[in-house]
Amino acid sequence: MHGFTDEDRDHPGDDPDADLFLGLPGGQPHLRWMRLALEEAQAAAAEDEVPVGAIVVAAGRVVASAHNQREQLGDPTAHAEMIALTQAAAALGSWRLEGCVLYVTLEPCPMCAGAILQARVPVVVWGAADPKAGAVESLYRLFDDPRLNHRVDHVGHVMAEECGRILSEFFRGKRRGPAAGG
Active-site annotation holds for 39: no
Helix (H, G, I), strand (E, B) or coil at 56: strand
Please report which helix (H) or strand (E) contains residue 57, including its range.
strand 53-58
Catalytic residue, chosen from 40, 49, 71, 81, is 81
C-alpha to C-alpha distances, 111 to 19, 28, 97, nearest whole angstrom: 24, 29, 17
Q: Are 85 and 97 in contact (CB under 8 A)?
A: yes
Residues marked active site are found at 81
